[in-house]
Chains A and B, each alone.
Chain A
Amino acid sequence: MTELRKGEEQRSSETVEAGGTAEHLDQRGHAHHLAPHEEVDQVTTAVPSDPMAFVGGSGEGDLALVYESGVELKARSQWSYAARRFARHKLAMGGAIGMFFIALVAIFADRVAPYPYDTLDFNALRVPPTTEGQHYFGTDLLGRDFFSRVVYGLRTSLWVALLITGLTTMIGVAIGATAGYFGGLIDNLLMRFTDLILTLPTLAVLLVASIYLGQGDPFRVALILAALFWTGIARIVRGTFLSLREKEFVEAAKASGAGDARIIIRHMLPNAVGPIIVSATLIVAAAILVEAALSFLGFGIQPPTPALGVLIDEGRNEGLKFWWMVTFPGLVIVFIALCINFIGDGLRDALDPTQRRVRD
């Protein structure tokens, strides 16, 4: 180590001298062209929209081009490319803004909601939507402000959905990565187990499990759902890992002495982040829907805790005359699911490494 240090300085100058005239030219050329800022900016406009095409070239000459054209050398990671592609995707941006709004409402539920979700008001039973008394979504049969209940229900549903997504992603990634990386028998065992889970009739299992594991507690509901939902993500991660493990940089990592865990976590997982994020996003939407369905059937979150599915179930009992009790939570569910699916589509387009072009 120390030996290396000592020689470095003289070595570096020596190497540059020895190594290639092309570079020398570059550097000299560079120094020459080091223009005042205005000029540099002008040149920048001539750069094609995909700077990767530039830098990805094969010769050292390309590098010089990058210097001269004044493209900043600061690393522009794949993430910033992805972010730009995402920003161009109008539906996805709309979805993202919608979800941002929804998230704000959920987080600040106690400020947004004009009433607590469980305050009864016997003077205002089954009031249809009105601005009077701030009952924007009307009240339910016990006179509880329905807008407040939807806001709080949104909070519960979203929290459960995120919990499900987190758990699902963890399980799915762990199983998928292990199967894909090691292959062979391990892969076979894990994937057959995945197939087994996939063959289970989801709803029936959910209903039975919720009875045995206890109902009502949002955390338990999340746990049950996650235990059934990880299969999709596991398959996707496995597929990605199967192709990644044949990559030369994985072999290079192996050759530099990295162990299995390090290769999986440090070298391969970052390369699989795209598909993982996309499927995780879509799981949020699916989780909200399934949680709502489960609660609607009375096996999910139990009243009086408001969740979107619970609210719809309550509304169903009231009949069509009190349409607002079904409509509003339903609309919220649709809105969320739609937003998330748009985001998912946008992310898929943005993170797909084979698609470099910015969408027009």
Chain B
Amino acid sequence: MAGNSSSTGPSNDEAGARGDSSLPPVGKDEPAPAPPPPSVWASLTSFRGTTGRKTDIYVGIAGFAVLLALWSLATYFEWVQVNYLVSFKVVVVRLYGMFVGENVDHSFIEDIAISLYRVAAAFLLSAIMAIPLGILMSSYRIVNGLSEPIIDFIRYLPVPALVPLTVVWLGIGETSKIALLWIGTFFQLVLLVADDARRVPREYIEIGMTVGAKPRSVLRHIILPAMLPNMVDNLRITLGWCWTYLIVAEIVAARSGIGYVIMSSRRYGKVDTILAGVLVIGIIGLATDQAIRWAHRRYFAYLR
């Protein structure tokens, strides 16, 4: 474009003028050798350096490898008593045993499935309710004025403190567990969504109003797409919180779920089972987080 050509123009002229002067023509025919690209190590350790995606993945794997090595060293040299920390190998063997249903009436896969169901149901319910309410809170003072104090009040209540109430009101079935997870995420998420909507640049909204869009169209065609990338990030973060409340929910008269397995193993000091359960939650968390990040990069590529 014209902008580019005009900005490179003057610098070429300068180079020509320099060549005519008495200064020796430095690198006129052969281009100056480009400085060698910084080594991967240098780019990783320099202040605010940048690396490629592949390097990031390898470094992430290396981090896990270091953790695993420390764990193995600690168990191999028995730095920690075996009834506190069992070896990684024992945990993996135990996990296999749990999957095939050793010593228990059902496979651990069923526990994973029911926990996934609880988290998914509660999280979807939270998102479906929080997204419209959050957007309305940012759009209309009346909605914000009525709901924000209530949300702030509930938001500061510790979720475990509400366990007795949910049991009394909703019993010990799935409903009370999903309700607990919902309480833990909805009230946080709604404020985050409202904030995302408020942060949409005023200019975008005014562009809409000056091309003839009514408030409904501004919400749908401007506010929603403008806030979407940040909102997906916030959904990803609140999904993580949902998993932390899962354990709280599954202590309560549950007979299934990863949290139940972990809590019941504690009673018998089965460290291998506890660690197996923790490992599975971590892996599920890492996998969903990475999946959402991937989707973010894929669908919001226009931001880069």
A binds B: no
Q: Which A residues are closer than 8 A to B by beta carbons?
A: none
